[in-house]
């Protein structure tokens, strides 16, 4: 069976790894990912300075998924450069991915330059879609600002693959607008989707919301978001699948979920809420389930299913 993936010069030994956010902030969490069956180590979105993020409670699990408003708590990019160097020594064959986030164009450019120059980092995921910072809208919902920022990012020297973490789009016109921007630049991949932002979950027993920040609104992950993620993967695959890799994130908790997203057009998949719930053992379980499902259907190579959703 062949379940590897390639993005430019970066080889993934398998197709399932962690999404930025859950259990990838501290050196201990990153090491645990390296020791697990995750096929890459994605680091927490980092900003120029360290951040404490939003006040607690800011993460809650419910039956159908999770709601969070962490607010980009991270140790600052210089620490992630140090962590990446240590991880590369320990796990030389595992791709290490930096996730970067800024609050101005200058921030993004500083971070792209820093990680392009760091030999232990293999790939850069630029987060254009955090819904949980008070007063800061999700960048990728502003097409003009995104276009300008992406253009500037590609003026920074360096040959590491760069991709963008996108928010969910709910109207095909908006998906097309973003695809038309991405087409203009040497984008290696997109990751769909970030949390579905600004949602409210109420506990009827206590008659209170589950999380405190941002007027109790937070980003949804887990089962709730899977059909939204699937639709985004499919729409972007049709628009951009011949030019860049589509990575799915959003609602995976089983091997059959992985199979569905490959059919929709994803080549790699990331785990968020399920990783927070189950810890790193989820990689081996979901991988095993995916292999078994592929075998049951007599497929031997992921290429046989990527984008091959049958017509109705």
Ligand X SMILES: Cc1cc2nc3c(=O)[nH]c(=O)nc-3n(C[C@H](O)[C@H](O)[C@H](O)COP(=O)(O)O)c2cc1C
Q: Which DSSP string do the residues of 156-189 spell out, in sequence order? A: S---S-EEEEE---SSHHHHHHHHHHHTTTT--E
C-alpha 19/C-alpha 3 separation (Å) is 19
* Residue 294 in the binding site for ligand X (CB under 6 A): no
Q: Please confirm, yes or no, whether 129 is among the known catalytic residues.
A: yes
| Minimal distance, residue 129 CB to ligand X, in Å | 7
Sheet holding 65-68, edge to edge: 59-62, 65-68, 218-221, 196-199
**Beta 59-62 vs 208-209: how paired, if at all?**
unpaired
| Minimal distance, residue 202 CB to ligand X, in Å | 19
- DSSP helix/strand/coil, 245: strand
Give whichever of 73 and 85 is closer to ligand X, judged by the CB atom.
73
State which of residues 39, 47, 54, 66 lies at the interface with ligand X (CB under 6 A).
66
The residue annotated as part of the active site, out of 19, 38, 69, 129, is 129
Contact set for ligand X, span 89-108 (CB under 6 A):
99
State which of residues 36, 39, 45, 245 lies at the interface with ligand X (CB under 6 A).
45
Residue nearest to ligand X (CB): 21
| Minimal distance, residue 60 CB to ligand X, in Å | 10
Radius of gyration (Cα) for the chain, nearest Å?
18
- DSSP helix/strand/coil, 140: helix
Strands (E), 96-151: 96-100, 123-127
β-bridge mates for residue 301, sequence order:
2
The residue annotated as part of the active site, out of 130, 192, 249, 282, is 130
Site string for ligand X, 3-32 (x = CB under 6 A): ----------------xxxx----------
C-alpha 233/C-alpha 236 separation (Å) is 5
Segment 136-140 long-range contacts (CB within 8 Å, at least 24 positions apart): 136/103, 138/167, 138/194, 138/197, 140/164, 140/166, 140/167, 140/178
DSSP element (H, E) containing 65: strand 65-68
State which of residues 12, 59, 237, 283 lies at the interface with ligand X (CB under 6 A).
59
Site string for ligand X, 124-153 (x = CB under 6 A): ---x--------------------------
**Beta 218-221 vs 65-68: how paired, if at all?**
antiparallel
State which of residues 53, 167, 197, 222 lies at the interface with ligand X (CB under 6 A).
222
Contact set for ligand X, span 161-220 (CB under 6 A):
165, 194-195
Contact set for ligand X, span 238-277 (CB under 6 A):
249-252, 271-274, 276
Instruction: Locate 19 and state its tokens.
Output: 């999404």
Q: Please confirm, yes or no, whether 38 is among the known catalytic residues.
A: no
Torsion angles phi and psi, residue 175, rounded to 5: -60, -45
| Minimal distance, residue 197 CB to ligand X, in Å | 10
Enzyme catalytic residues: 129-130
Which residues here bind ligand X, judged by CB under 6 A? 19-22, 44-45, 59, 66, 68, 70, 72, 99, 127, 165, 194-195, 221-222, 225, 249-252, 271-274, 276
């Amino acid at each position: 069976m062949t379940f590897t993936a390639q993005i430019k010069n970066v080889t993934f030994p398998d197709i399932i790894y962690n999404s930025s956010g859950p259990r990838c902030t501290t050196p201990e969490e990153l090491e645990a990912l390296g020791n697990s069956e995750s096929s890459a180590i994605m680091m927490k979105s980092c900003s120029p300075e360290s951040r404490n993020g939003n006040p607690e409670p800011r993460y809650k699990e419910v039956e159908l998924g999770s709601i969070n408003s962490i607010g980009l708590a991270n140790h600052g990019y210089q620490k992630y450069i140090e962590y990446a160097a240590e991880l590369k020594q320990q796990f030389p064959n595992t791709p290490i991915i930096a996730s970067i986030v800024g609050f101005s164009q200058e921030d993004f450019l500083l971070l792209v330059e820093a990680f392009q120059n760091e030999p232990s980092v293999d790939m850069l995921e630029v987060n254009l879609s955090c819904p949980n910072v008070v007063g800061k809208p999700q960048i990728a919902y502003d097409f003009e600002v995104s276009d300008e920022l992406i253009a500037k990012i590609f003026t920074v020297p360096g040959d590491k693959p760069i991709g963008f973490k996108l928010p969910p789009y709910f109207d095909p016109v908006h998906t097309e607008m973003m695809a038309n921007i991405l087409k203009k630049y040497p984008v290696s991949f997109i990751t769909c989707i970030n949390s579905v932002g600004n949602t409210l979950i109420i506990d009827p027993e206590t008659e209170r919301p589950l999380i405190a920040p941002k007027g109790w609104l937070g980003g949804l992950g887990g089962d709730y978001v899977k059909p939204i993620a699937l639709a985004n993967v499919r729409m972007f695959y049709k628009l951009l699948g011949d030019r860049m890799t589509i990575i799915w994130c959003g609602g995976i908790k089983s091997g059959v979920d992985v199979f569905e997203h490959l059919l929709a057009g994803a080549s790699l998949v990331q785990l968020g809420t399920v990783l927070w719930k189950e810890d790193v053992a989820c990689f081996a379980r979901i991988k095993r389930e995916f292999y078994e499902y592929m075998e049951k259907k007599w497929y031997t190579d992921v290429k046989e299913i990527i984008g091959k959703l049958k017509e109705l």
